[in-house]
Structure 1
Amino acid sequence: MKIAALADIHGNIDALEAVLADLERHRPDTIVNLGDSLSSPLAAGETADRLLPMSLPTVRGNHDRCLVDRPESEMGDWEAPAFRQLSAAHLQWIRDMPSALVVEGEVYLCHATPQKDDVMWTEELLPSGHFALKEQAEIEALAEGISYPLILCGHSHIARSVLLSGDRILVNPGSVGCPGFTYHIPVDHKLETAHPFACYAIIEKTNAGWQPTFHQVRYDTSRMAALARNAGYEDWARVIATGRVE
C-alpha cells in the first residue's frame, strides 16, 4: 500500500498542480490532505475548485477553521483574502471536514495534533523565536491513545518523520504551497525552508513497516508570487519565490 500525504496547500494552486503531476509517476493507492488548503492571498477559489471533485480524505486545519468560525471582519490576513474567493459550496466543504480521520484502517490523520489544530506536534517555539525539535517524551505524550501504525500530520510546514514507541511512525510531509511564514504571537518568530519547492511525502507499507519518502517538486512560482504582490502581500510573494522571509 502506498499513501501520498499532502498538507498546507494554502491556496497555491500551481504548487498543487505540480505535486499532482509528480504523483502520476508514483501511482499511490490513496492521496490524503492534511488541511490548511486555502488560506492565503493566492488562489483559494481555484484551489477549492480543484480539490472538491477529487474527494480526497481531508482533515480540517486551523486556517480552514478560521474561514468558517468567525465573521469576515474578524479574519486575519491569511483568511480574509481567501474568504472573498470562496463560494457557499467551498465553505460547506470546510464545515464538513473532520478534525481527525482514519483511512485504510491503520492510518491516522490530523492537521496539527490530536488535541489541537494549531499546535506543532514535533517542533517547539523557543523564546528566541527559533524552532527546535521537541523532546521524544513530549512527542510521545501527544500520541497517547493512538495505536495506528502510521500517523500523519501537517501544520509546521517542516517535513519530518519521528519513530514512536510501539513501532508507530509519525510523518509530516511538509507544505505543498507555503515554504515559510512569520508571526508575532507569542513572540516574534519565523520559519523558512530556504527553498520554493512544493513538498509532499509518499509513505509505503513494506515488510519492515511504513517507509516515508519525502519529495520536493520544482515549479514555476511566478504566477503565485505575482498574485500575492498584486494583492499587496510582498511577504507572501517573497516566500513563494524563494522560501525565505524577510
Structure 2
Amino acid sequence: MTAVPEHGSHGAAIAVIADVHGNSDALRAVLADIDALGIGPILNLGDHFSGPLAAAETAELIAARDMICIRGNHDRWLIDQSPDEMGPSDRVAYDQLAERDLDWLRSLPATLPLGDDIFMCHGTPASDTSYWMERVAPSGEVLFRPLDEIETAADGLEAPVLLCGHTHRPRLVRLRDGRIILNPGSVGLPAYDDDLPVYHVMESGNPAACYAVLSKGAAGWDVSFRAVPYDASRMAALAEAAGRPDWASAVATGWLRAQTQA
C-alpha cells in the first residue's frame, strides 16, 4: 500500500488533478498555480493524454514532476486497443506518444489506496467508465445520483477521502458516515459528449483549468476548488486543425458547442 505523501499530514496541502487529456497549456497553468501556492504532492486521477491536442508535450510535463498517478479509461484504451480500433481522440494521442510513454501508462494501477486516509480511482472503485456522483437518464439528461447509490459504490472502503475523476465536473459529496468523495474537475477538457449509456453531454461552462486542493485540519479534511484561467487559443487551434471543432469549442468556452445569444 502506498503511503500518504508527507505533505498530507496535519496542516499541509495536496493537489488533486484529473483528466488533463493532452492539454499541455492547461496543465502548465495548473502546475504554476500549484507551485505558487507551495503545494508539494500531486495526485493525478488519470486520462492524461487522449485528445487532438498535445499529448507528447503533456507526457514531458508529467514525467518532469513528482506525481502519484493512476490509469483512466482513455489511458487503458491507449494500451489495450490496436490503433485501428481506437476512437479519434485516442488515436491522435497514440500517434504523438513515444513507446516509453505507453510503457508508463502500462505501469499505472487502476486504483490506489494511500495509507489509511485516501483512495484514488478514476470513475468508481469498480469501473473506470462509470460515473460515481452522477447518472444519465434515458433521455440523456445528467442527474445527481441518489446518495444511497453513491454510498453503495463506496462499500468496503474505509479511507475518509475518496478521490475520483472521469465526469470532468468539480464536485464534493459527504457521505452519512463522514467520508467525502471528491472530483477535482478536469484540468484540460471542460466539456465532452459520450454515447454510453445513452448519448449525453457534459459541459462545465467554464474554460478554466480546474483542480482541487486537499488538506487535513483539526476539524477534518478541507477541500478547495481552483479554476485557473489560461490562454486556450493554441489548444483550440490544434483541435480545429485536427478536424475537431467540438474540442475547440470545449477548451475555448467550456461548452461543447459555441453558445450564442438569443
SS in 2 for 1:54: coil
- AA partner of residue 22 (structure 1): D
Pairing of 1:9-24 with structure 2 (within 5 A): 9-24=20-35
How far apart are the structure 2 equivalents of 1:189 and 1:10? 19
CA shift digits 1:69-103 (9 cap, x unpaired): 01000001120000000111000000000011123
Pairing of 1:34-113 with structure 2 (within 5 A): 34-103=45-114, 105-113=116-124
1:188: Cα distance to partner?
A: 2.1
Fraction of identical pairs, as percent: 46
Unaligned runs of 5+ in 2: 1-11, 258-262
CA shift digits 1:2-55 (9 cap, x unpaired): 111000000000000000111123222311100001000000011011112324
How far apart are the structure 2 equivalents of 1:153 and 1:8? 10
Corresponding residue for residue 138 of structure 1: 149
- AA partner of residue 243 (structure 1): G
- More displaced stretch, 203-212 vs 48-57: 48-57
How far apart are the structure 2 equivalents of 1:164 and 1:111? 19
How far apart are the structure 2 equivalents of 1:191 and 1:56? 27
- Identify the match of residue 250 of structure 2 among 229, 239, 242: 239
Corresponding residue for residue 232 of structure 2: 221
Q: How large is the RMSD of aligned CA atoms in angstroms?
A: 1.1
The answer to whether the 8 A contact 2:116-2:158 is kept is no
Aligned length: 246
SS in 1 for 2:74: helix
- Identify the match of residue 222 of structure 2 among 186, 195, 211: 211
- AA partner of residue 160 (structure 2): P
Corresponding residue for residue 212 of structure 2: 201
SS in 1 for 2:235: helix
The alignment status of 1:122 with 2:133, answered yes or no, reads yes
The answer to whether the 8 A contact 2:124-2:132 is kept is yes
How far apart are the structure 1 equivalents of 2:247 and 2:113? 33
How far apart are the structure 2 equivalents of 1:25 and 1:231? 34
- AA partner of residue 187 (structure 1): V
How far apart are the structure 2 equivalents of 1:5 and 1:146? 19
1:65: Cα distance to partner?
A: 0.2
- AA partner of residue 167 (structure 2): S
How far apart are the structure 1 equivalents of 2:92 and 2:40? 34
The answer to whether the 8 A contact 2:41-2:66 is kept is no
- AA partner of residue 191 (structure 1): M
Corresponding residue for residue 172 of structure 2: 161
Corresponding residue for residue 171 of structure 1: 182
- AA partner of residue 219 (structure 1): Y
CA shift digits 1:94-130 (9 cap, x unpaired): 0000011123541111111110000011000111211
Moved over 3 A (4+): none
TM-score by length of 1: 0.97
How far apart are the structure 2 equivalents of 1:6 and 1:185? 24
TM-score by length of 2: 0.91
How far apart are the structure 2 equivalents of 1:126 and 1:151? 25
